Structure 1
Amino acid sequence: MKQPVEISTELTRQEAELMLAELRSRYSQVLNDVWYADPFRLIPEGLCHGSILIAMPVMAAQKRLMGALTHSLRAVK
């Protein structure tokens, strides 16, 4: 069983928005780079993203962090 790590931080709205933009940019770049790479090229399109997240845990963590930042930014509007 995986041991979860909980992270708590306080950011200004500007810091959170900038971090989210940076994470989205990096995530998109890596996803575009690996989408057609040999290990994932023959995986059906509907399964490819999930396969990449399983193979690249850092991307899975980035995705969760982007979700948390998005949720937090919406909550403080």
Structure 2
Amino acid sequence: MRTPVKKQKGQPYLEAADQWLSTAVSQVRQPIESLFAWFESKLTIECASRVRSYQGLLVQVFGRLAAAMFFWYHLRACS
């Protein structure tokens, strides 16, 4: 998984390659995070940051995957 590059303490700006990577990663992550936020609002799946156990985390992850696959199939079947 890639994350945007952060400036080091005291660094005035990011180098061009790091800035490009940060922009590219952000452009990919933002729509994905928006999609999962939409799923969460429609399906009321609990927030992963509140899951305390490994079992709960697995339920969270596979619940989101199942919801995504359901909506993807439903959208393809309707079009």
Higher relative contact order (CA 8 A, sep 6+): 1
The answer to whether TM tops 0.5 is no
TM-score, length basis structure 1: 0.35
Larger-gyration structure (1/2):
2
